[in-house]
Structures are given as C-alpha cells and as structure tokens.
Amino acid sequence: MPESRAARRHPARLTKALVAPTALALAGLLLTACGAKDDASTGSTAASCVDTSKNSIKVGSLHSLSGTMAISEVTVANSTKLAVDQINAAGGVMGKKIELVLEDGASDPKTFAEKAEKLISSDCVAAVFGGWTSSSRKAMKPKFESLNSLLYYPVQYEGLEDSKNIFYTGATTNQQIIPALDYLKQKGVTSLYLVGSDYVFPQTANREIKAYAAANGIEIKGEDYTPLGSTDFSTIINKVRSAKAGAVFNTLNGDSNVAFFREYTNAGLKAAEMPVVSVSIAEEEVAGIGAQNVAGQLTAWNYYQTVDSPVNKKFVSDYKAAFGADKPTSDPMEAAYASVFLWKNTVEKAKSFAVADIQAAADGVSFEAPEGLVTIDGSNHHITKTARIGEIRPDGLIYTVWDSGKAVVPDPYLKSYDWAKGLK
Amino acid sequence: MDVVIGQLFTGLSLGSILLLAALGLSLTFGQMGVINMAHGEFIMAGCYTTFVVQKVISSAGVSLFVSLLIGFLVGGVLGAALEMGLIRWMYDRPLDTLLVTFGVGLVLQQLARDIFGAPAKNVLAPSWLSGGVDIMGAVVPKTRIFILVLAVVAVTVLAVVLKTTPLGRRIRAVVQNRGLAETSGVSSRFTDISTFFIGSGLAGVAGVALTLIGSTSPTIGQSYLIDAFLVVVIGGLGQIKGTVIAAFALGLLNSFIEYSTTASIAKVIVFAAIVIFLQVRPQGLFTVRTRSLA
C-alpha cells in the first residue's frame, strides 16, 4: 500500500522544514565570514578617488530608509537634502554644485558598513552624511578610518568616542543626558527606572546614568532592555509600576517607543506622577505614538520645532514647503541640516575638498543653526550645542521648559566630571 | 500578589497575540505542510488595512470592527492568490515553498513601503479601549483584554468551522488522506484554496489586533513570524488544540521569566527551553491521528 501524503509529512517533512532555515543561516554565516576577509584585504588600499575636476562635487546620504529605524531616519535624510538644495540654490560650494548620492542603510549595521564603503570607494563622495543608531556608526567607523573619508553623524549618542574621520554634530552626553539628570535632580527626583533598547547607546548611556546616580544620591530602581523593534512592554510596565520610581529614563529607539508609551498610558501611569524622560523621541516620533499618549512627558534634546529664533522660523517653513505642511522638524534633522553647512563652511575655510585639509581647518568653524550658534571643536570633532529640556504638549509639539542659555562645550569622555572616572 | 496577577495577564495577553499570529499558520503549515514565509506580510496587510479603513471611517470604534472583517478578507484574498498563483505547483516541495514565499514576503514589504512610505503609521485605538481595568491590584490594559477575547473568539469560530461545517470536514479529510478524500469526491483544489483563504485571513485579523499595541511598519510581520512558527511546531502539526496550549504556555513562560530577568535573557531561556522540548518531543505536544499512521 502506497504511503499517504500525511504519513510522509510527519515527521520527516518537519525535519526537512527545519533543515532549510538552518542551511540558509549557515550559508549566510559563511558568506559573511568570506565578506569580512575581503574587507581586510582591500581596506589597506585606501586612495581618494574624489573627482574635483567637474562642476559638481558628490556627497553621500546614508540613512535607514527602510526597517525599524526608518520612522526616524527618513526625516533626517530629507533634512540633508534640504540643506544641499539650499546650498546649490545659493551657488554651491566653492562654485561647485553638490550632487547627493542616496543610500539606504536598512536599519542594519552591516548594510551601513557596506553602503559606506560603496559611497567612498565606488561613488567617490567627498563626505557622507548619515547614521542614527550607535551600532550603525560603530559599523561605519572602521570604513571611514581605513578608507580615509569623512562622516557627519547627526544624532545624539552615548559619548566616549572620537575619530578624526567623524564629525559628531549631535549631542554628546554632557550636552543632553547630564543636563537632563541635573534637571530631574533639581526637580527633586530621587529614584530612576532605566528602560532602553538592547544595543550600544542605551547600555553605555545607562552606565553613565548609574555613575551619575551613585555620585548624586539617586537610587536606580531597575534597568531593562528590549530588542530593537520589540513591541511587547507589558512585563516592563508591570515592573516599572511596582518599582514606583521618581521618573523613568527612556533610551528606547525607533518603533518600540510607540508600543512603550501606549502601554504606559493604558496601564494608568501618568506623567504627573512618574514622568518619562526620553532622549530619542522627537516631534516626528510623537506623531507616530499619538500625542495623547505622550502629552506631559519630558524629552532632552538641543532643538525643538518651537525654538523661537528667525533662523529656526525659516528652517521650519522651508522644510514644510519642501516636504509637506504637516511634517514637523526635529533635533537630528536640525543637526543634519547644520552638518551640511558646517561641511561647506569648513571646505571654504580650507579651500579644499581633501580630507586632511578639512580636518586641519575644522577647529572653530561655526554656523548659525536653527538651535543657535554651533562651533566645531577641533580637538574632538564634536560641536558646541545648547542643551534643552522639553515637555510634549497635546498639540504634538515639544516646548522648552529649561535651556542651558549658552552653547555647551562638548566633553565626550566626561573628563570634567569626577564621577565619570573609570567609565570606558 | 498584584505582581503575580499582573504577570499572569501579561502572559495570557502575550499568548493571545502569539495565538492570533500562529492560528492561521497552524492551518497552512500545520495542516497542509506549506512553509509560508509570507504569513508575516499577511499580518502586515491586516495592519495597513486598519490604517486605510480608519482614513475612511473616522470613528475609531466602528473602524476597528469593520477592519476586522475587511482585514480577514484582505488576508484571505492574498493567501488564496498565493496558493493559486504559486503554491499549488509545489505541494511536494516544502523547501521551494519556503524560498518562494520568502520572496513573496519581500515583494509585499516593498509594496507596502512604496504605497504607505517607510515611516511607521499610527492607528488610533477607540476611546473605550484606552486605559486599563483594575484586577486584584494589577492594572490590565483594555486593549490586551480585547485581544485576548478576540483570540478566544477566533479559535472558537475556527474550531466550529473545522468540526461542524462541510468545508471543515473536507479540510480535515484532505489533510488526513488526500488520495482517499479525492476518491470520495472531495475537490482537493477547492479545499486547498479555502484552507489558505481562512489561514491567511486569520493573519489579517492578527494584524488588525496588533495595531492596538504598536505601530504599523512594513517589517512588522517579521517580528511575529518566527514566534508563530515556533508555536505551531511546539503545539504539534495539524493541531489547533496544540497551537492554543503552546501559545499560552510560551506567553506565560516568557512573562514570568522576563519579570525576574530581562527581556533579552527571557528570550534566550525560552528558546533554550524550546530546543530541549523538541529534543524530547520532536513531534510537538500533540500529533494528528490518522489512519495511515495508526
């Protein structure tokens, strides 16, 4: 009697079914390993192929246009484009029009590294504007160093890093997280609960927060991480509830914030009793979460759409004219916008597109950005920035409730803080 | 005490989400043996359906229920189209269905990205689902209770359809012994398409439910696909009962481990437990009893 389909299916078919994904995964691993070897052998042959003989100069834009980080990074890529368009309309850089080469990092550090290499080696761009997650920056860093090119990285990050091939135009910790902690302390908060995505930035930021807390008599009631893109927060919310901390310090990134804040509100937790301070949600994310779910919560950034200055009013209206009247502007967008102008100003000061000339000329180059005047610190390639604490209002915009008054000098290694000794 | 109650409900609600995501798979993978990697994208289709319906019907409450219906139809039509267009030629080649449907999933993701844009979309939950209910000191979000009820209803309806209707009898007959069923006059083509329609429709319903929890992005389906496959494999192929038990067991196990450790460690421990479990019982919790195996 011939075997029936069902008999063949169980369990032999299951075994087959499981063999396939395993085989695929192994093949993927092998390919990655081979890829890594290739990188090492070609990495040493770094020679600039930037073509400065034409009427235009190429620069790269490398952000996640897809995947879990797209919610945040698409707007940053738009903002880079706005700056490039404005510079081109005003005559370009040293008489050359900027030609923007767009690439998609797809929310995946490995893709960021590959695309960075492509932009530098085969597109021959003079500089790259890109990245959001620290993992993407860490993945790109060796490429920019070995191929000797320039990356302008526009997002606040955990600090403890510098590279002569990277300009950090977002905040480092002493321009964002430490002012936020100081603000909470001054408001009488004596205990914190730390929630973050499970990767470089939240882990490092939380180590710094814990060191600060230990030195300032603030109790850490708990610390939780979820995988990037995770949408299940009920357990963490239950833990936060029973911990009864003075505030929650939120270093979640991307889509996870939507699920986190919905769950937070639905569980009956309120901003008035246990505020959440976020360092990675801006105006664009507020719209995605739903303003009613985050109203009253705090954020720490250097820029909000509501910043009251003529430069910012023009930036906001230009952005809305280019990308839609309902599109908000945010901190990383502002930093990305300023990055392009800082690059332009440095090139013009150096009178050269060459990496070494730009590095030599960078110190003291400044730009009147929407957040206020920013200046490159040549010793660590970070920039001075104004620190601002904001409150999210039901209209979806963030309003400054405290600011540092003047631009804060960057201190990526927290050398000026005693409690930070021993952090690496 | 409120911690135990809170985690119990967290586990149940996680289980109900897993169950909704896995229920359709237990038909298409469990019963038909087709590895449909595009199942996650059918879930995503349900999410975007909710988003579109809410654009048309502004009342969040009405649009939710309309979405459940349309989400089922959209998922179902996508599934039936996939079956008729591709899968019917490869019923004897499970590895090929894996690759082909994976490709289809990528196409659907890109399609969603082109139509709706890469940034995540937000669907408003009806006001009567905001806030939580106090159950013995633990606050359980109403959205979670709604999803739990939805999962129970979906399982019940599916079980009734499979047990009592002529279509259900045909599906079970084809699954247990295709040759004999065909000889007895059951159209296996029609049954295959129907099974896919129902299974993928349930993915659409899962998608509608997921919009209540998080945001809708083109890659949302991927985060649930692996968990859904695990639930079906642990439950035992071809067993709705096994799927239900496996989903809630995984949900509860995860929530209690997560409470005492962290989300990442809980995932590792749960995966390790699954590996050990499958060593002991490779056939899953339950196995289908058929004449040919007896």
- Rounded CA-CA distance B99/A172 in Å is 44
Q: Which helix (H) or strand (E) holds B3?
A: helix B2-25
Is the model's pLDDT at B179 over the cut of 80? yes
Distance of CA B84 to the CA centre of its chain: 21
Q: Is B144 on the interface with A (CB under 8 A)?
A: yes
Query: Are the CB atoms for A140 and A318 separated by under 8 Å?
Result: no
Which residues of chain B lie closer than 8 angstroms to A287, CB-CB? 122
The tens place of each residue's pLDDT in chain A, 424 residues long, gives 444 444 444 444 545 555 555 555 555 555 544 444 444 434 334 457 888 888 999 999 999 988 777 877 989 999 999 999 999 999 999 999 999 999 999 989 999 999 999 999 999 999 999 999 888 999 999 999 999 999 999 999 888 899 999 999 999 999 999 999 999 999 999 999 999 998 888 998 999 999 999 999 999 999 999 887 788 888 899 899 889 899 999 999 877 888 899 889 888 898 999 999 999 888 877 877 888 889 999 999 999 999 999 999 999 999 999 999 988 899 999 999 999 999 999 999 999 999 999 999 999 999 999 999 999 999 999 999 999 999 999 998 999 999 998 899 999 999 999 888 877 6
CB contacts, 8 Å: B131 with chain A: 265-266, 268
Substitution target from A223, A232, A273, A274 for chain B, most B beta carbons within 10 A: A232
How far lies A297's CA from each of A274, A294, A394, B126, B227, in Å?
9, 6, 10, 22, 33
Q: What angle do CA A248, A251, A254 make, to 5 degrees?
A: 125
Q: How far apart are CA A77 and CA A149, in angstroms?
A: 19
Closest residue on chain B to A22 (Cα):
B95
Chain B's closest residue to A104, CA to CA, is: B118
DSSP-derived pairing of the beta strands A382-383 and A372-377: antiparallel
Nearest beta carbon to residue A68 from set B121, B124, B217: B217
CA dist B236 → A63, A130, A215, B4, B12 (Å): 42, 47, 54, 29, 20
- Can you tell me the mean pLDDT for B42-64? 92
Nearest to A225 among B94, B113, B262 (CB): B262
Q: Which of B221, B223, B119, B41 is nearest to A132 (CA)?
A: B119
pLDDT, tens digit, for every residue of A146-202? 999 999 999 998 888 999 999 999 999 999 999 999 999 999 999 999 999 988 889
Decide: A66 and A111 in contact? Cβ < 8 Å.
no
Q: Are A21 and B95 in contact (CB under 8 A)?
A: no
First-last CA distance in chain A: 70
Q: CA-to-CA distance for A371 and A307, rounded, in angstroms? A: 7
**Taking a C-beta distance cutoff of 8 angstroms, is the pair A254, A69 a contact?**
yes
Q: Are A306 and A398 in contact (CB under 8 A)?
A: yes
Look at residue B58 in the predicted model and tell me its pLDDT. Answer: 83
pTM above 0.90, yes or no: no
Q: Which residues in A lie closer than 8 A to residue B226 (C-beta atoms)?
A: none
Whether the complex's predicted ipTM is more than 0.90 is answered with: no
Burial class of residue A40, CB neighbours in 10 A (0-12, 13-18, 19+): exposed
How far CA B84 is from CA of A121, B80, B192, B253, in Å, comes to 46, 6, 9, 39
Query: Closest approach of chain B CAs to the CA of A166, in angstroms?
Result: 27
Which of B3, B9, B122 lies closest to A258 in CB terms?
B122
Rounded Cα–Cα distance for residues B6 and A405 (Å): 45
* Mutation for A interface: B44, B195, B213, most A CBs within 10 A: B213
Give the type of residue at B91: Y
| In the block, residue with structure tokens 């392009």 | A340
pLDDT, position B151: 95
Dig out the tokens for A275 from the structure.
Answer: 């505020």
Interface test with B, best of A24, A132, A238, A241 (most B CBs within 10 A): A238
Dist. CA B237–CA B226, nearest whole Å: 15
User: B135 - beta bridge partners?
Assistant: B138
pLDDT of residue B1: 67
Find the distance separating the first CA and the last CA of chain B, reported in whole Å.
47
Asked whether the beta carbons of residue B94 and residue A13 sit closer than 8 angstroms, the reply is yes
A193 beta partners: A222, A248
CB B23 within 8 A of CB B227: no
Q: Any CB–CB contact under 8 A between B188 and chain A?
A: no
Mind giving me the DSSP string for A119-179?
A: HHHTS--S-EEE--SHHHHHHHHHHHHHTT--EEE-S----S---TTEEE-S--GGGTHHH
